[in-house]
């Protein structure tokens, strides 16, 4: 087989690069292997690469290279096929899109593996038809933001398999992101046998290694080791790695008087000789998708004290046999575990031997066999999916006057509309486990009943292919939203509005649902000089009591609330007028945001004010309000010297503007001009 790995860069240093090279080298014994590196940012890779592996760089970003493409016209334009919510999105460009597409258009690879979220999306879109498509997760489901998970869903649904590095994370994916047509499983990272003789559990050195980053919680380790030094001053702690936390950690070491006992050793490669110098390894991370350093240490003969964080450590360490697991963030528990091993050398030696034995299951040969078995199992599925790849459903959608939705597939030459067994799937982007499914009839029409309740949020529309269960995103040809314009004639049971729409730029068919038992529907908004007036009507299962109150809540970590009295307009109407000077006086940042709520009765919880009872999906782009401009309030107590500094300068101003959020709720921005 020809196996192609798609990686961000193979020229740097990092866990994903190392595990990819380990797997690729083992596969090269029996297969043709290439590593497609999107970027080449230096001439020589930092890791040694087996000469049997073909390296294919696509975009040259090495500043010292004559072929440097940093100024290439296409590289100055943002990527179109790389997920916008991906952490590295800004590094990708149309040039990356073009090069990846071109490489795989001419490729004869039998298996293509994407090694990070954005590259998994590339694999789903550009890999050769008929190849086995595999995505790897080197982080975790919970590590990614909801926006990225939403963007990835359709791409994961196009894969043959999605591989996590821990069973715990695979279980989360299976629960929260159902992918019936994609096999979701775990295969651990591989760690080769070290080139040094394993430690035997003797010595007086504790070793930790990894990036000096906040998530590694080295401050917990340093505090814990203070307790070790108090009992055993001859023991030392070595921390290997570089990173932004180094100055803080140095200060903590000095503040604790631990400069003779705790040493920041800096980055070290290879790390195996350093592990072998130790007697115990330790990790205090608050999160580990796998835990490469744990396996490295165990393969070098060190029992490991590790926090029992999600997800890797508990699947690597057998508590009490080859290491000890402790609660996350508990420095006293770390101290106690270290002392347990320090004060019982026979046990430490037994655990050292067990660590070597038990870590052999992560040998590249054993891990590679799991991948090879997977490739073989998926080849038939990939061939079947190649037929599905020709299926690109397009539909017309009508929003009925009663709220029902009718989705009609557009007939094609292949008879798509009459595809036997085809089903319409509605999947909520915020929670992929929340689904609704409806059959297409012989004419390719599916109906979503008016009384079907959809949780508030965005729902994507898929066609589920029979037999394979593969989910294919439906493209909208036209969407008739007129029925949603009549939703204002509500029945007193609350707001249940569903508006189908065509996603801008992509053309996909989606649905926006609002589902609120009580809602304050905004009406006219006026800005008169420095005053804002908000009017509207209360909708749903609520009875107004007394005069209404407008509540402004500051968005962000600094919680604050302001209230303004209003007046009732008829039975359910409300009206408020407030001065913009009040939020300006409380401005904390260059851009403050306040969300607007209505308190319709003294004991009732405030409800959001928004505009959801019509057919307009994106109010922010349509309902634009003028801004009030006020002078910026300077904080009290400014020194006379500072006051003289500003004398003669133009007064700084602040702009206050009402606007609608992405969920069509009313908010207020207070921003420096």
The answer to whether residue 38 sits within a structural domain is yes
Please state which of the ranges 137-151, 374-388, 594-608, 637-651 shows the lowest mean pLDDT.
637-651
The answer to whether residue 370 sits within a structural domain is no
Residue 317 has pLDDT above 50, yes or no: yes
Q: Do residues 538 and 661 share a domain?
A: yes
Residues 279, 285, 286: CA angle, nearest 5 degrees: 150
Q: Do residues 402 and 355 share a domain?
A: no
For 613, the token pair is 């009872």
Helix (H, G, I), strand (E, B) or coil at 140: coil
Share of the chain above pLDDT 70, in %: 94
Please state which of the ranges 280-289, 358-367, 490-499 shows the lowest mean pLDDT.
490-499
Per-residue confidence (pLDDT) for residue 382, from 0 to 100:
81
Q: For residue 478, what is the DSSP state? A: E
Q: Is the backbone peptide bond immediately before 270 cis, with ω within 30 degrees of 0?
A: yes
pLDDT tens digits, one per residue of 98-122:
999 999 999 999 999 999 999 999 9
Are 459 and 510 in contact by the 8 Å Cβ rule? The answer is yes
Residue 192: φ, ψ to 5°:
-70, 160
- Write the Ramachandran bin of 650: left for phi over 0, alpha for psi from -120 to 50, otherwise beta: beta
pLDDT tens digits, one per residue of 237-264:
999 999 999 999 999 999 999 999 999 9
pTM above 0.75, yes or no: yes
Determine the Cα–Cα distance for residues 377 and 1; give it in Å rounded to an integer: 13
DSSP of 17-38:
HHHHHHHHHHHTTTSEEEEEEE
Per-residue confidence (pLDDT) for residue 651, from 0 to 100:
65
Please state which of the ranges 34-43, 248-257, 605-614, 646-655 shows the lowest mean pLDDT.
646-655
The answer to whether residue 590 sits within a structural domain is yes
Find the domain containing 462 and state its range: 394-515
Q: Do residues 590 and 470 share a domain?
A: no
Sign of CA dihedral 567, 569, 574, 576: negative
Q: Do residues 175 and 314 share a domain?
A: no
Sign of CA dihedral 29, 34, 35, 39: positive
Are 335 and 224 in contact by the 8 Å Cβ rule? The answer is yes
Long-range CB contacts (within 8 A, 24+) of 616-625 = 616/664, 617/499, 617/501, 617/512, 617/664, 618/662, 618/664, 619/660, 619/664, 620/659, 620/660, 620/661, 620/662, 620/664, 623/525, 623/660, 624/659, 625/525, 625/527, 625/657, 625/658, 625/659
Q: Do residues 271 and 161 share a domain?
A: no
pLDDT tens digits, one per residue of 519-565:
999 999 999 999 999 999 999 888 899 999 999 999 988 889 999 99
Determine the Cα–Cα distance for residues 370 and 502; give it in Å rounded to an integer: 42
Are 464 and 498 in contact by the 8 Å Cβ rule? The answer is no
Q: Name the residue among 152, 147, 265 with its Cα closest to residue 209.
A: 265
Helix (H, G, I), strand (E, B) or coil at 385: helix
Long-range CB contacts (within 8 A, 24+) of 662-665 = 662/618, 662/620, 663/456, 663/610, 664/514, 664/610, 664/611, 664/612, 664/616, 664/617, 664/618, 664/619, 664/620, 665/595, 665/596, 665/608, 665/609, 665/610
- Residue 108's domain is classified under what CATH number? 3.40.50.2000
Are 239 and 209 in contact by the 8 Å Cβ rule? The answer is yes
Are 261 and 235 in contact by the 8 Å Cβ rule? The answer is yes
For 163, the token pair is 């591989």
Per-residue confidence (pLDDT) for residue 412, from 0 to 100:
73
- Distance set, CA 400 to CA 199, 615, 668 (Å): 72, 12, 34
Q: Do residues 236 and 324 share a domain?
A: yes
Q: For residue 594, what is the DSSP state? A: E
Q: Do residues 157 and 26 share a domain?
A: yes
pLDDT tens digits, one per residue of 577-616:
999 999 999 999 999 999 999 999 999 999 999 999 999 9
pLDDT tens digits, one per residue of 5-26:
999 999 998 889 999 999 999 9
pLDDT tens digits, one per residue of 435-444:
999 999 999 9
The answer to whether residue 380 sits within a structural domain is no
pLDDT tens digits, one per residue of 373-400:
999 999 877 876 666 667 889 999 999 8
The answer to whether residue 230 sits within a structural domain is yes
Determine the Cα–Cα distance for residues 161 and 136; give it in Å rounded to an integer: 9
The answer to whether residue 197 sits within a structural domain is no
Are 24 and 16 in contact by the 8 Å Cβ rule? The answer is no
Per-residue confidence (pLDDT) for residue 637, from 0 to 100:
41
- Distance set, CA 672 to CA 122, 399, 562, 584, 668 (Å): 40, 42, 20, 10, 13
Per-residue confidence (pLDDT) for residue 650, from 0 to 100:
59
Determine the Cα–Cα distance for residues 8 and 176; give it in Å rounded to an integer: 27
Please state which of the ranges 164-168, 449-453, 562-566 shows the lowest mean pLDDT.
449-453
The answer to whether residue 387 sits within a structural domain is no
Q: Do residues 53 and 85 share a domain?
A: yes
Residue 195: φ, ψ to 5°:
-80, 5
Q: Which residue has the tokens 């995505």?
A: 135
The answer to whether residue 14 sits within a structural domain is yes
Mean pLDDT (the chain, rounded): 92
Q: Name the residue among 314, 281, 287, 285 with its Cα closest to residue 299.
A: 281
pLDDT tens digits, one per residue of 293-311:
999 999 999 999 999 998 8
Residue 172 has pLDDT above 80, yes or no: yes
Residue 14: φ, ψ to 5°:
165, 165
Are 574 and 548 in contact by the 8 Å Cβ rule? The answer is yes
Per-residue confidence (pLDDT) for residue 495, from 0 to 100:
83
Burial (CB count within 10 angstroms: exposed 0-12, middle 13-18, buried 19+), residue 528: exposed
Q: Which residue has the tokens 């090269």?
A: 28
Confidence of residue 638 (pLDDT cuts 50, 70, 90): very low
Determine the Cα–Cα distance for residues 18 and 26; give it in Å rounded to an integer: 13
Per-residue confidence (pLDDT) for residue 487, from 0 to 100:
65
Per-residue confidence (pLDDT) for residue 417, from 0 to 100:
45
- Write the Ramachandran bin of 482: left for phi over 0, alpha for psi from -120 to 50, otherwise beta: alpha
Determine the Cα–Cα distance for residues 92 and 72; give it in Å rounded to an integer: 12
For 526, the token pair is 């006026």
- Write the Ramachandran bin of 266: left for phi over 0, alpha for psi from -120 to 50, otherwise beta: left
Q: Name the residue among 391, 396, 426, 439 with its Cα closest to residue 153.
A: 426
Per-residue confidence (pLDDT) for residue 202, from 0 to 100:
86
Other beta carbons within 10 angstroms of residue 384's beta carbon come to 15
Q: Where is the domain boundary, 487, 515, 543? A: 515
Please tell me the total count of domains within the chain: 4
Q: Do residues 483 and 601 share a domain?
A: no
Are 513 and 434 in contact by the 8 Å Cβ rule? The answer is no
Q: Do residues 331 and 293 share a domain?
A: yes
Other beta carbons within 10 angstroms of residue 484's beta carbon come to 24
pLDDT tens digits, one per residue of 206-245:
999 999 999 999 999 999 999 999 999 999 999 999 999 9
Q: Name the residue among 271, 269, 277 with its Cα closest to residue 197.
A: 277
Q: Do residues 172 and 35 share a domain?
A: yes
Q: Report the side by side order of strands in the sheet with 54-60.
A: 54-60, 32-40, 2-9, 111-114, 132-137, 161-164, 183-186
Residue 644 has pLDDT above 50, yes or no: no
Q: Do residues 282 and 420 share a domain?
A: no
Return all residues near 380 (Cβ < 8 A) that are at least 6 apart: none
The DSSP bridge partners found for residue 522 are: 536
Residue 635 has pLDDT above 90, yes or no: no
Per-residue confidence (pLDDT) for residue 641, from 0 to 100:
45
Determine the Cα–Cα distance for residues 194 and 178; give it in Å rounded to an integer: 39
- Residue 407's domain is classified under what CATH number? 2.60.40
Per-residue confidence (pLDDT) for residue 648, from 0 to 100:
52
Helix (H) or strand (E) holding 114: strand 111-114
Determine the Cα–Cα distance for residues 543 and 607; give it in Å rounded to an integer: 13
Query: In angstroms, how far is the first alpha carbon of the chain from the final one?
Result: 61
């Amino acid at each position: 087989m020809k196996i192609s790995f798609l990686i961000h860069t193979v020229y740097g240093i990092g866990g994903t690069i190392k595990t990819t090279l380990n797997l690729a080298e083992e596969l090269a014994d029996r297969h043709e292997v290439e590593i497609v590196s999107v970027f080449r940012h230096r001439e020589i890779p930092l890791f040694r690469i087996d000469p049997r592996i073909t390296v294919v760089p696509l975009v040259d970003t090495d500043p010292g290279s004559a072929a440097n493409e940093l100024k290439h016209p296409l590289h100055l334009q943002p990527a179109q096929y790389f997920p916008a919510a991906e952490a590295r999105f800004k590094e990708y460009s149309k040039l990356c899109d073009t090069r990846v597409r071109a490489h795989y258009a001419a490729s004869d690879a039998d298996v293509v593996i994407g090694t990070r979220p954005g590259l998994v999306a590339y694999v789903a879109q550009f890999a050769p038809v008929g190849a086995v498509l595999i995505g790897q997760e080197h982080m975790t489901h919970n590590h990614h933001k909801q926006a990225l998970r939403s963007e990835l869903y359709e791409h994961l649904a196009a894969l043959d398999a999605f591989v996590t590095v821990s069973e715990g994370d695979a279980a989360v994916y299976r629960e929260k992101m159902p992918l019936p047509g994609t096999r979701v499983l775990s295969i651990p990272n591989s760690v080769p046998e070290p080139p040094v003789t394993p430690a035997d559990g003797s010595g007086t050195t504790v070793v930790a290694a990894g990036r000096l980053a906040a998530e590694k919680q080295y401050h917990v380790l340093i505090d814990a080791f203070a307790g070790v030094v108090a009992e055993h001053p001859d023991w030392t702690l070595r921390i290997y790695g570089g990173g932004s936390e180094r100055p803080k950690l140095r200060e903590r070491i000095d503040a604790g008087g631990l400069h003779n006992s705790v040493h920041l050793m800096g980055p070290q490669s290879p790390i195996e000789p350093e592990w072998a110098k130790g007697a115990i390894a330790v990790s205090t991370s608050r999160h580990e998708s796998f835990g490469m350093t744990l396996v490295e240490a165990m393969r070098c003969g060190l029992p490991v004290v590790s926090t029992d964080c999600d997800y890797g450590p508990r699947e690597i360490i057998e508590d009490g046999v080859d290491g000890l697991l402790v609660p996350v963030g508990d420095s006293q528990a770390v101290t106690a575990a270290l002392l347990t091993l320090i004060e019982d050398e026979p046990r430490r030696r037994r655990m050292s031997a067990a660590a070597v034995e038990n870590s052999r299951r992560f040998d590249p040969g054993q891990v590679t066999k799991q991948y090879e078995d997977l490739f073989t199992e998926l080849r038939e599925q990939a061939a079947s999916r190649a037929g599905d790849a020709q299926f690109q459903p397009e539909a017309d959608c009508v929003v009925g006057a009663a709220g029902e939705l009718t989705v009609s597939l557009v007939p094609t030459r292949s008879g798509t509309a009459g595809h036997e067994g085809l089903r319409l799937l509605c999947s909520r982007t915020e929670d992929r486990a929340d689904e609704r499914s409806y059959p297409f009839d012989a004419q390719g029409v599916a109906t979503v009943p008016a009384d079907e309740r959809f949780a508030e949020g965005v729902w994507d529309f898929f066609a589920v292919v029979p037999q394979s269960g593969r989910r294919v995103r439906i493209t909208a040809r036209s969407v008739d939203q007129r029925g949603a314009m009549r939703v204002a004639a509500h029945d007193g049971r609350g707001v249940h509005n569903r508006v189908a729409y065509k996603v801008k730029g992509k053309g996909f068919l989606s649905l926006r649902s609002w589902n609120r038992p009580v809602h304050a529907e905004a009406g006219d908004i006026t800005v008169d000089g420095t005053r804002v007036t908000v009017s509207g009507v209360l909708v749903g299962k609520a009875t107004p009591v007394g005069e209404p109150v407008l509540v402004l809540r500051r968005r962000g970590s600094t919680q604050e609330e302001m209230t303004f009295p209003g007046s009732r307009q008829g039975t359910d109407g409300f009206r408020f007028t407030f001065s913009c000077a009040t939020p300006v006086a409380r401005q904390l940042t260059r851009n403050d945001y306040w969300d607007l709520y209505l308190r319709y009765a003294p004991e009732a919880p405030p409800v959001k004010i928004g505009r959801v009872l019509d057919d307009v999906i994106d109010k922010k782009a349509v309902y634009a309000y003028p801004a009030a401009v006020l002078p910026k309030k300077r904080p009290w107590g400014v020194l006379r010297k500072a006051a003289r500094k500003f004398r003669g300068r133009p007064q700084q101003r602040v702009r206050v503007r009402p606007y609608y959020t992405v969920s069509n709720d009313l908010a207020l921005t207070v921003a420096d001009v």
